[in-house]
Chain A
Amino acid sequence: DGGITQSPKYLFRKEGQNVTLSCEQNLNHDAMYWYRQDPGQGLRLIYYSQIVNDFQKGDIAEGYSVSREKKESFPLTVTSAQKNPTAFYLCASSEPPHTEAFFGQGTRLTVV
């Protein structure tokens, strides 16, 4: 089936650790996005990529890093510099310009 796969579903991070969230899509979309969702807040854009080997910061990029070495993959690393990483992380993809966005099932990250 075509879609977006995020893994793992749940992730626990110790203080000072970097962790990487996986996002893979088989929709052949050029654009991919990472959003963060906190209770009572809308989704906020962390990073996005319009094409392989290129990506841009979103509204809340501090403490995060990404790479886009393959069209189908857009991993997100939550670094130790992110002081409040506990949240629900959602990956999305779309085919530019201005088409329907599709989302994965999310990764819930908790700091322990």
Chain B
Amino acid sequence: KQEVTQIPAALSVPEGENLVLNCSFTDSAIYNLQWFRQDPGKGLTSLLLIQSSQREQTSGRLNASLDKSSGRSTLYIAASQPGDSATYLCAVGTGANSKLTFGKGITLSVRP
């Protein structure tokens, strides 16, 4: 059974820092990996999708990498801002039906 782990559960940093959020998964037979952002009481916003054949994806200040063989992904946030404060979730897609298995998320607080 696929398990997704995100450690630490919470992170607090000063504004301007470059951040790396980690995600690990137990079964490397994935089709894709997706990073989401969730604000308190809200739904999930898709940030980046990496297909299994890709190594990384970039969108603005965000860069996500994928190493299938080691079961790891990282989300890099450059020059963090208070508006980046949210919970970041990692999910891996497995099976022909594209089911997503989620980690518990990392709650990020960026201090002004």
- Chain A residues at the B interface, C-beta cutoff of 8 Å: 4, 6, 31, 33, 35, 40-45, 48, 50, 56, 58, 90, 92, 94, 96-106, 108
Name the A residues within 8 Å of B18 (CB-CB).
none
B99 part of interface (Cβ distance < 8 Å): yes
The number of residues on chain B lying at the interface, defined by a beta carbon within 8 Å of a beta carbon of chain A, is 26
B43 adjacent to A101 (CB under 8 Å): no
- Contact partner of B89 among A43, A45, A92, A106, CB < 8 A? A43
- Chain B residues at the A interface, C-beta cutoff of 8 Å: 4, 31-32, 34, 36, 41-46, 49, 51, 89, 91, 93, 96-105
Q: How far is the CA of A98 from the CA of B89 in the complex (A)?
A: 18
Majority SS of interface residues in chain B? strand
Name the A residues within 8 Å of B34 (CB-CB).
100-101
Q: Among A96, A97, A108, which residue has the most Cβ atoms of chain B within 10 A?
A: A97
Question: Known contacts A42-B89, A106-B43; is A98 also within 8 Å of B99 by CB?
Answer: no
Q: How far is the CA of A47 from the CA of B89 in the complex (A)?
A: 20
Q: How far is the CB of A49 from chain B (nearest CB, A)?
A: 10
- Contact partner of A101 among B42, B100, B103, CB < 8 A? B100
A31 adjacent to B44 (CB under 8 Å): no
B44 adjacent to A90 (CB under 8 Å): yes
CB nearest neighbor in B for A45: B99
Q: How far is the CA of A6 from the CA of B41 in the complex (A)?
A: 13
